[in-house]
Chain A
C-alpha cells in the first residue's frame, strides 16, 4: 500500500515534513504521493474536525439526518437523484442505504428555519423523492473519531520505567 495513505489511515495529523520523516521519503515525494492520491480520487481533501456546538466554531448550529425514500429509475437506479442531491451545499454527506429507506442525508444549516426550508423546498420537491423523515441532532459525543468533552488521562505514564 502507498506508505502515505497508510499514514493517513492512522488518522493523526502530520505536516508533510513530519510525514516525510516517518515514512523515510523526501517532502517532495510525500507531496507527489498526496497529489497522486488526489488524482486517483482516493484522497478527497483535508478538513478540520470541530466541536460544532461551540459558539467559537460558529459552524452549523443545526444539523439534521434525513431518511429519504425515492423511486429508482430504469437504467440509472438511485444514482442520478443521489448525485443531484449531493451537490447542494447544505448536504454534508449522502449515502445509499439498505433497509427501510434509500438515501441517508446529513444536512447542516445555520438555523432550524434554513434546514426546514431546504427539506421542504428543495429536497422533497425533487422528482423521484417519495418521502422524507427528518431527525435533528441534539448533542454530539464523538465527532470524526474524536471524543467530545471526555479526557483520557494518558499522561500519567511514568517517565522512566524498566
Chain B
C-alpha cells in the first residue's frame, strides 16, 4: 500500500522553490576529498574568539542552564542598547524595545509574522539573501523585488524603489551591506530611501548584519535618520562580525508596540534564545570589539586581493564597501554564470555560487566569499585565472 505523503504538505510550502544554494551544495558535496577550495560559504573562517567561548563554558560551570526572560537576559539587552547607541547612533529602551532572537533569521521571521496580513506586499532589493522571498511567502504575503544594478555597485536607489512600488506595499526590507553583492548606500542615498518610505508610509526592516564589516567610510543605519526610528525595525546579530554563526543569536530593536507583537510570536514559538549563547553574546559586546576590528582588517586585505585579481582575470567587479562577498560579472566569460560556476568546480575545483541563487537580478554574476585564508584565496584566484583562460580560447 503506498500513501502519497506529499499531499499533506501545505500548498504554500510545496510551492516554495528549492534553494539554489542547496543545489550547489549537493554538487560540491559530491566532490568530497578532491581538494575543493570553497568560496561558496556565507560565514567567517575565524572561530569565535576564545574569550567568548570561555565565557560560555564558565556560564555552564556556574549552572546557567535555565530559560531566560522571553525578551532575553536583561544584562544582554542593556549591553545591546549601549552597543547600538554607540555604533549606530539610535537609542532603544532595554526593557521594552529590544528582543533577543535565535539569529537574525528568527528576527526576520518574527517581524514578518507579526506584521503581515495575508496579501500584504513586502518590498526587498534583489539580488538578496536567499531567505527573504521564502520568508515573505511563508506568511502569505507578496514579495515585490526591487532591482539593484552593477552600475550602481548594487546600491539601492530611490528611483528603483519608486519604479517598483505598487499600491499595497507595507514593508521595505533592507540589507546593507548586502549579501550577496556587498552593495551599500551612502548617507545621501539612504536619505532619499527614507524620504520615499515616509512618503509611502512604509515600515522598514533593516537587516544590518554585515555593518561592522564596512571597509570604507562609516556605516549609517537608516534608523538613525530623522523620522525613521519610529518606522524601522533594526535587525542585527553576532554571526558575522563576531564570528558566531553557530551560536544562533540575533536581536530586533524597534518601537515598543512592534517589539511587543514580535515578542508574542516569539514566546509561543521559541520561548527564548539559548542562555549559553546569550552569555557568550554578552561577553562579545563587553570585550569583543578588538577582535571584530582585527577580523575586519583581514577581510579588508582579502577583499582588495580578490577584487584586484578578479578584475585582472576579466571577472569585472566593484570593490564591495562592506560584507565578505565579491559579486563579479561573468559576462566576459562567454558562458552563463551557472555554467561558469559548474565548469569552474569541475575543472579547477573552486566553488562559487551562481548569482541566480539570489534572485533573477543576480543573473550574469557569481558570489565569491573571501572569508578564507590568503593562501587559499591566492590558489583559488590562480585556478580561476586558468579556467577563464580556457573559456576565452
Answer yes or no: are A and B bound together in one complex.
yes
Mask of A1-44 contacts with B, CB within 8 angstroms, 1/0 = 00000110010101000100111100000000000000000000
Q: Are B45 and A157 in contact (CB under 8 A)?
A: yes
Determine the chain A residues whose CB is within 8 A of the CB of B301 once the complex forms. Answer: 7, 22-23
A160 is an interface residue with CB less than 8 A from chain B: yes
Q: Are B21 and A21 in contact (CB under 8 A)?
A: no
B196 is an interface residue with CB less than 8 A from chain A: no
Cβ of A118 to closest chain B Cβ, rounded Å: 36
**Which of B24-32, B111-119, B187-195 interfaces with chain A?**
B24-32
B42 is an interface residue with CB less than 8 A from chain A: yes
Mask of B350-383 contacts with A, CB within 8 angstroms, 1/0 = 0101000000000000000000011100100100
B152 is an interface residue with CB less than 8 A from chain A: no
Partner of B43, one of A6, A12, A18, A161: A161
Q: Are B378 and A159 in contact (CB under 8 A)?
A: no
Q: How far is the CA of A24 from the CA of B19 in the complex (A)?
A: 36
Q: Are B40 and A160 in contact (CB under 8 A)?
A: yes
Q: Are A162 and B42 in contact (CB under 8 A)?
A: yes
Q: Are B40 and A18 in contact (CB under 8 A)?
A: no
Partner of A18, one of B38, B41, B42, B375: B375
A158 is an interface residue with CB less than 8 A from chain B: yes
Determine the chain A residues whose CB is within 8 A of the CB of B179 once the complex forms. Answer: 162
Partner of A160, one of B24, B298, B381: B24
B308 is an interface residue with CB less than 8 A from chain A: yes
Query: Taking CB as reference atom, which chain B residue is nearest A156?
Result: B246
Q: Are B374 and A160 in contact (CB under 8 A)?
A: no
Interface residues of B in 300-320 (CB under 8 A from A): 301-302, 304-305, 308-309
Q: Are B47 and A160 in contact (CB under 8 A)?
A: no
* Total contacts A-B at CB 8 Å: 62
Q: How far is the CA of A161 from the CA of B371 in the complex (A)?
A: 12
A56 is an interface residue with CB less than 8 A from chain B: no
Cβ of A56 to closest chain B Cβ, rounded Å: 25
Q: Are A24 and B305 in contact (CB under 8 A)?
A: yes
A83 is an interface residue with CB less than 8 A from chain B: no
Determine the chain B residues whose CB is within 8 A of the CB of A22 once the complex forms. Answer: 301-302, 305, 374, 378
B36 is an interface residue with CB less than 8 A from chain A: yes
Q: How far is the CA of A18 from the CA of B41 in the complex (A)?
A: 23
Q: Are B351 and A24 in contact (CB under 8 A)?
A: no
Q: Are B25 and A159 in contact (CB under 8 A)?
A: yes
B158 is an interface residue with CB less than 8 A from chain A: no
B89 is an interface residue with CB less than 8 A from chain A: no
Mask of A148-162 contacts with B, CB within 8 angstroms, 1/0 = 000010100111111
B247 is an interface residue with CB less than 8 A from chain A: no
Interface of A, helix, strand, loop or mixed by DSSP: loop
Cβ of B322 to closest chain A Cβ, rounded Å: 17
Among A7, A10, A160, chain B packs the most CB atoms within 10 A around the CB of: A160
B88 is an interface residue with CB less than 8 A from chain A: no
Interface residues of A in 104-162 (CB under 8 A from B): 152, 154, 157-162
Q: Are A154 and B45 in contact (CB under 8 A)?
A: yes
Q: How far is the CA of A162 from the CA of B47 in the complex (A)?
A: 18
Determine the chain A residues whose CB is within 8 A of the CB of B353 once the complex forms. Answer: 160
Q: Are B41 and A159 in contact (CB under 8 A)?
A: yes
Q: Are B308 and A158 in contact (CB under 8 A)?
A: no
Determine the chain B residues whose CB is within 8 A of the CB of A24 once the complex forms. Answer: 304-305, 308
Query: Taking CB as reference atom, which chain B residue is nearest A3?
Result: B301
Interface residues of B in 1-41 (CB under 8 A from A): 19, 21, 24-25, 28-29, 36, 38, 40-41
Q: Are A21 and B378 in contact (CB under 8 A)?
A: yes
Interface residues of A in 66-93 (CB under 8 A from B): none
Determine the chain B residues whose CB is within 8 A of the CB of A18 once the complex forms. Answer: 374-375, 378
Query: Taking CB as reference atom, which chain B residue is nearest A153?
Result: B47
Cβ of B138 to closest chain A Cβ, rounded Å: 16
Q: How far is the CA of A157 from the CA of B245 in the complex (A)?
A: 10
Cβ of A80 to closest chain B Cβ, rounded Å: 38
Determine the chain B residues whose CB is within 8 A of the CB of A23 once the complex forms. Answer: 301
Mask of B100-116 contacts with A, CB within 8 angstroms, 1/0 = 00000000000000000
Q: Are A162 and B45 in contact (CB under 8 A)?
A: no
Q: What 6 new A-B contacts, CB under 8 Å, besides A22-B302, A160-B41, A161-B41?
A: A159-B40, A160-B28, A160-B353, A161-B43, A162-B19, A162-B130
Q: Which 9 A-B pairs have the closest CB atoms?
A: A160-B40, A160-B25, A159-B38, A161-B42, A159-B28, A162-B130, A162-B42, A22-B374, A160-B24
Please give the residue numbers on chain B whose beta carbons come within 8 Å of chain A beta carbons, in ascending order. 19, 21, 24-25, 28-29, 36, 38, 40-43, 45, 47, 129-131, 179, 297-298, 301-302, 304-305, 308-309, 351, 353, 373-375, 378, 381
23 residue pairs bridging A and B, Cβ less than 8 Å apart: A6-B297, A14-B374, A18-B375, A18-B378, A21-B305, A21-B374, A21-B381, A22-B301, A22-B305, A22-B378, A24-B305, A152-B47, A157-B41, A157-B45, A159-B36, A159-B38, A160-B28, A160-B41, A160-B353, A161-B21, A161-B41, A161-B43, A162-B129
